Amino acid sequence: MEEKVWESLKEVWRQRVSPSSYEVWIAPLTFAGAEGDTLLVQCPNQFFASWIREHYLPLLKDHLAQGGRRWNLRLCPVEEEREAARGQLHLPRFSPTEIARPAFCQRFTFEEFVVGACNRYAHAACWAAANEEPNHSRILYVHAPAGLGKSHLIQALGQRYLERRPKARVCYLTANDFTAQVVRAIKNDGLDDFKRRYRESCDVLMLEEAHCFAGRERTQSELALALDILLDDGKTVVFTGSQLPREIPKVNDQLRSRLAGGLITSINPPDTPTRRKIILRKAASQGVDLDPGVVDYLARHLQGDIRQIEGAVAGLVAKSSLLREPVNMDLARDVVRELVGEAREITLEAIGEVICRYYQVSCEDLRSRSRRRAVSWPRQVAMYLARRFTEDSLEAIGRHFNRDHATVLHSVKRITAQIQEKGKLRRQVEFLTEQLQSRRWKA
Q: In what order do the strands lie in the sheet with 170-174?
A: 170-174, 204-208, 236-241, 138-143, 263-266
Q: Which of 100, 146, 374, 417 binds ligand ATP (CB under 6 A)?
A: 146
Binding residues for ligand ATP restricted to 274-293, rule: CB under 6 A: 278
CB of 38 to ligand ATP, least distance (A): 25
In the complex, residue closest to ligand ATP by CB: 149
114 lies in the site for ligand ATP, by CB under 6 A:
yes
Near ligand ATP by CB under 6 A, which window of 17-25, 304-312, 338-346, 434-442? 304-312
27 closest CA partner among 39, 44, 40: 44
Instruction: Check whether 147 is labelled as a binding-site residue.
Output: yes
d(CA 276, CA 298) in angstroms, rounded, equals 8
How many residues bind to ligand ATP according to rule CB under 6 A? 18
Instruction: Give whichever of 207 and 383 is closer to ligand ATP, judged by the CB atom.
Output: 207
Instruction: Give whichever of 126 and 366 is closer to ligand ATP, judged by the CB atom.
Output: 126
Q: Where are the alpha helices (DSSP H) in 401-443?
A: 405-421, 423-440
147 lies in the site for ligand ATP, by CB under 6 A:
yes
Instruction: Check whether 315 is labelled as a binding-site residue.
Output: no
149 lies in the site for ligand ATP, by CB under 6 A:
yes
Residue 229: CB partners within 8 Å, gap ≥ 6? 195, 198, 199
374 lies in the site for ligand ATP, by CB under 6 A:
no
Residue 310: CB partners within 8 Å, gap ≥ 6? 282
Instruction: Give whichever of 119 and 181 is closer to ligand ATP, judged by the CB atom.
Output: 119
DSSP string for 61-110: GGG-EETTEE-EEEEEESTTHHHHHHHT----SS---SSPPP---TT-ST
47 lies in the site for ligand ATP, by CB under 6 A:
no
Surface-to-core class of residue 184, CB atoms within 10 Å of its CB (0-12 exposed, 13-18 middle, 19+ buried): exposed
Q: Which of 2, 222, 271, 310 binds ligand ATP (CB under 6 A)?
A: 310
Strand partners, 30: 42
d(CA 12, CA 6) in angstroms, rounded, equals 10
Instruction: Give whichever of 97 and 433 is closer to ligand ATP, judged by the CB atom.
Output: 433
CB of 388 to ligand ATP, least distance (A): 16
- What phi and psi, each to the nearest 5 degrees, are found at residue 327? -70, 115
CB of 410 to ligand ATP, least distance (A): 26
Instruction: Give whichever of 151 and 181 is closer to ligand ATP, judged by the CB atom.
Output: 151
Helix 423-440 with 348-359: angle, nearest 10 deg: 130
Instruction: Give whichever of 114 and 182 is closer to ligand ATP, judged by the CB atom.
Output: 114
CB of 265 to ligand ATP, least distance (A): 13
How many secondary structure helices (H) and strands (E) does the chain include? 20, 10
d(CA 45, CA 75) in angstroms, rounded, equals 9
The β-bridge relationship of strands 38-43 and 65-66 is unpaired
238 lies in the site for ligand ATP, by CB under 6 A:
no
Binding residues for ligand ATP restricted to 152-191, rule: CB under 6 A: 152
Which regions of 254-355 does DSSP assign to beta strands (E)?
Answer: 263-266
d(CA 270, CA 267) in angstroms, rounded, equals 9
Q: Which of 34, 52, 99, 119 binds ligand ATP (CB under 6 A)?
A: 119
Q: Which of 6, 43, 77, 150 binds ligand ATP (CB under 6 A)?
A: 150
Near ligand ATP by CB under 6 A, which window of 105-113, 318-326, 373-381, 385-393? 105-113
d(CA 159, CA 137) in angstroms, rounded, equals 19
Binding-site positions for ATP read 147, 149-151
Sites of contact with ligand ATP (CB under 6 A): 108, 112-114, 119, 144, 146-152, 242, 278, 306-307, 310
| Known binding residues | 147, 149-151
